[in-house]
Amino acid sequence: MSEVLDIQTGKRELTKAANRQTILNAARVVFGEMGFDAATVRDIIRRTNLSVGAFYNYYRSKEEVFDALADDGARRFRPILHAQAARATDFESYLRAAVRAYFDFLAEEHDDLSDLGPTRREIVHHPRTDTPEMLAVFAEVRQALADVIDRGLAPKVDLDYLATSCIAVARDVGDQMIIRQHVDVAGATEFVVRLILGGAHALPRVER
């Protein structure tokens, strides 16, 4: 009897996981097409085979769905970020590798929305930063920077401020990168690295 119950429980959990993923997949497309502000829960539900009641079994609002999307991305990106930290030889090498990896990840995540054109501008909506997955990414970056500083390969500065600044700059430049007609990962990476290392005076000049 217990084996039957275990099988039934396992099937229910698989169904729940599949339904959550269905909602996230639909929401990602809806937010890309309509923008976060214009999109509604009903728009998301229409892209699934789920009922309204089924949706609310998993999420209470579109804001919760958006945060879940961000958490899903953070969860998948953390191993990539960790690998960059393991290979870093100094602050610049870590910064460059981590930012490039994030921008590559971001470009790939938004690749299937590339045919939406200007509409993609409305997908930019910052999720909460205090969820467990987001806090784990912050901790990963902070620890990598601490390791570099401890080895004498970077100046001793406030770690919390440094990690926060690196994440914020990469996030906001990444948002701008993906809404451009041509997604230039290399150019965006170079901009962030130069800005963090040398400030505005270190940035490449552009013609106005």
As a whole-number percent, the residues of the chain with pLDDT over 90 amount to 55
Choice among 109-118, 149-158, 165-174 with the minimum mean pLDDT? 109-118
Share of the chain above pLDDT 70, in %: 85
Top pLDDT among 47 and 8 is at 47
| Distance between start and end Cα atoms, the chain | 75
Shortest CA distance to 94 belongs to which of 162, 161, 160, 158? 162
Residue 152's region, left for phi above 0, alpha for psi from -120 to 50, else beta, is left
- Binning pLDDT at 50, 70 and 90, where does residue 2 land? low
Residue ranges and CATH numbers for the domains of the chain are 1-60 (1.10.10), 62-208 (1.10.357.10)
For residue range 29-80, list pLDDT tens digits in order: 898 788 888 999 999 999 999 999 999 999 999 999 999 998 998 999 999 9
| Contact by Cβ (8 Å): 165, 194 | no
Give the model's confidence band at 27: pLDDT under 50 very low, under 70 low, under 90 confident, else very high: very high
Residue 5 has pLDDT above 70, yes or no: no
pLDDT tens-digit profile of 94-126? 999 999 999 999 998 877 555 444 444 444 566
Q: pTM value?
A: 0.78
* More confidently predicted of 202 and 18: 18
